[in-house]
Chains A and B, each alone.
Chain A
Amino acid sequence: MSDESANLSPAARLTKWLVSGPPFIFLLLFFVAPSMIMVLASFRYPGEFGGLAPIAAADPNILQGFTLETYQFFFGDLIYSEIFVKSFLVATATTLICLLLAYPLALLIARSPKTSRDLMVLLVILPFASNFLIRVYAWMIILGPQSAFSQLVNSLLAVFGAGPVHLLFSPFAVLVGMVYVHLPFMVLPLYTNLEKHDPALLDAAQDLGANAWQRFWRVTFPLSLPGIFSGSALVFIPVLGMFAIPDILGGTGDMLIGNLIKEQFLGTRDWPFGSTLSIMLTIAVLLIAWLAAKFGGSRGRYA
């Protein structure tokens, strides 16, 4: 690093600072600093009426100073770990369903004539043109008990003698909403990867005796692993912290980490515990990202 900058002219050095400075300062102010504040907050007591208790106060009867109480609280009650596990399961399920739905679509786009590809990609990202909440509320109507879809499902179930089910406010509705919102984040990295594959490789595989399935499984799929990893990260991590979709489409029992954290800050106003939950989530995500990089990195070298 020092060798590199030593060779730069003053003008080049200034440009480098001007270009990299603003985003650096932005992240410092709005990511690093708040994270530090959160770490500190997690070791403090909650204030009497929300917020934080003072670090030092004249009155010895009010809570003050630092404590490990929130962490003891987190690990002391299994319910929090259960919500973490449930959130991870929902995120994993969403990621897998997105992958299963997105892969054929991305493959179809990548193998379409060049002229129609841009239009198809545009269609994939078109839902972003309307507001996120409106799209999620739309699912409330689609899954609501009076909707044509609900009635169709229930009359089909009746044929098989099964009782009517309530689609809305269920884990199913949460999953549908999660998959629906995050699908484009899986399609785009997959498409970007698949589109770069050299078609001659498939010709070569066929020429050397591979049938259609073998061509996919031994050539296309392994070469698309970097796309699968980045798409999965783009779906998994936001789903893990998502609170709006479970709030709107989930039932009372469908609380995920996101809802729990939101509840601490806006509901029970227990900032230290909210901070602790947040930090645990960040650690979990970083752990997964590290594992993914370690696992994915060894396969990414040829891409």
Chain B
Amino acid sequence: MAQLEIKNVTRRFGDFVAVDDVSLNIEAGEFFTLLGPSGCGKTTLLRMIAGFDLPDAGQILLDGKDLADTPAEKRPVHTVFQSYALFPHMTVAENIAFPLKMARRPPAEIHKMLHETLEQVHLADKAAAYPHELSGGQKQRVALARGLVNRPRLLLLDEPLGALDAKLREEMQIELINLQRDVGVTFVFVTHAQVEALALSHRIAVMSQGKVEQVDEPSRLYGFPSNRFVADFIGHINMLPAQVIESAHGHLRLSVPGLGEILAPPVAGAAAGAQGVFAIRPEQVRIGEHGEISELRNHLPGVVTTLLYRGDVTLYKVKFASGKMIEALLPNAAAGRAELFEAGDAVKVGWRHDAGMFLHE
């Protein structure tokens, strides 16, 4: 039995269906992420788990027990809010001790748990400070400590890194991973930032328009998206309309208008004549001037139209003779190879026959 079971949960606001028949199982000790664009229903779902909102239909079970009649203050579920929501009139120590006091733990125990947690989030020297005296990262750690100190069954995190700058966000991501591993509390993390979701999570549920599109491990979600929405939402991907010619010999033969015939890895249920798209990640596309590309099963000539130099990698936009475009992402690993190609260069574009995928319409 999963620790948190969400069974056919639906929530409507007037005519708008915010959460549409969602079912999810979240295991104990898991770092689970709800990922989706704003308005996809992920925050509504989180608020229902916390107890700030109730489902119109369906059930939410924690350790097998229906939470419907348990008010938010009685649920062993704590939340780290996007705005942190630290109590401005309380010191760091008072903020963190708040849930312990509400749970009426004895003073000696409060003292012990408070100091353990302060150590854990590296805030022992800030115990007497007020929230307005802290930096963004420190506020974030107080919010985390306050959510974790009473050892909830679940910790819900609502876009907690959204307010931090890029460098601090990366540090906090590492701290979050370590903290979650150390305390072993189940994390349910809500974000619209797919990079963050991929970096942090054990499993991710991609949501769109109130529905769950796919639930999978980050690498499977990235490598094997189950539909066009997921493929497009997670990372960058080239998408070209395609039709199946035949499925045989462990691969698919596709007809891609503007590119001709290409080979793609097999996919279940792709019968001859099926319409869809051929999708391939830019880093799977290679470009070169020499024969090495011609050895690949899929290769075509093209012209570099634009390039975006990003330091570690360069993104090339290449145009085929038919006018179709494809993006290729090349690492700038070799010394002195900062810009291998220039705009206007005639190049060969190719990819392995087992790269990319056919996605049904």
Contact = CB atoms under 8 A, between A and B. Distances in A.
Nearest to A225: B89
A69 interface: no
Contact of B102 (A203, A214, A302): A214
Interface string A179-223: 000000000000000000010110111111111001000110011
B52 interface: yes
Contacts of A209: 73-74, 99, 102-103, 150
B203 interface: no
B89 A207 contact: no
A207 B177 CA distance: 23
A299 interface: yes
B316 interface: no
Contacts of B86: 204
Contact of A219 (B71, B87, B150): B87
A235 B71 CA distance: 40
B187 interface: no
Interface residues of B, number: 27
B220 interface: no
A301 interface: yes
A200 B73 contact: no
Contacts of A219: 87
Nearest to B131: A302
A208 B83 contact: no
B130 A207 contact: no
Contacts of B52: 203, 206-207
A299 B89 contact: yes
B269 to A, nearest CB: 45
B81 A200 contact: yes
Interface string B54-97: 00000000000000000111100111010101111100000000
A207 B132 CA distance: 22
B89 A208 contact: no
B79 A204 contact: yes
B132 A210 contact: no
A207 B71 CA distance: 9
Contact of B83 (A198, A206, A223, A302): A198
A86 B176 CA distance: 62
Contact of A210 (B79, B83, B85, B102): B102
A301 B133 CA distance: 11
A300 to B, nearest CB: 10
A207 B79 contact: yes
A222 B130 CA distance: 14
A206 B79 CA distance: 10
A223 B132 CA distance: 14
B130 A301 contact: yes
A75 to B, nearest CB: 43
Contacts of B146: 208
A206 to B, nearest CB: 5
A205 B87 CA distance: 9
Contacts of B99: 208-209
A223 B85 contact: no
Interface string B86-117: 11110000000011001100000000000000
A58 B79 CA distance: 86
A65 B70 CA distance: 81
B50 interface: yes
B79 A302 contact: no
Interface in A127-166: none
Contacts of A200: 81, 83, 85
A207 B157 CA distance: 12
A302 B132 contact: yes
What 10 pairs between A and B have smallest CB-CB spacing? A209-B102, A204-B85, A208-B99, A302-B88, A200-B85, A207-B79, A222-B89, A206-B72, A206-B73, A210-B102
Given A198-B83, A204-B87, A301-B130, 7 more contacts: A200-B81, A204-B86, A206-B71, A208-B73, A219-B87, A302-B88, A302-B130
12 contacts: A198-B85, A203-B52, A205-B98, A206-B52, A206-B72, A207-B52, A207-B73, A207-B77, A209-B73, A210-B98, A223-B89, A302-B132
Interface of B: 50-52, 71-74, 77-79, 81, 83, 85-89, 98-99, 102-103, 130-132, 146-147, 150
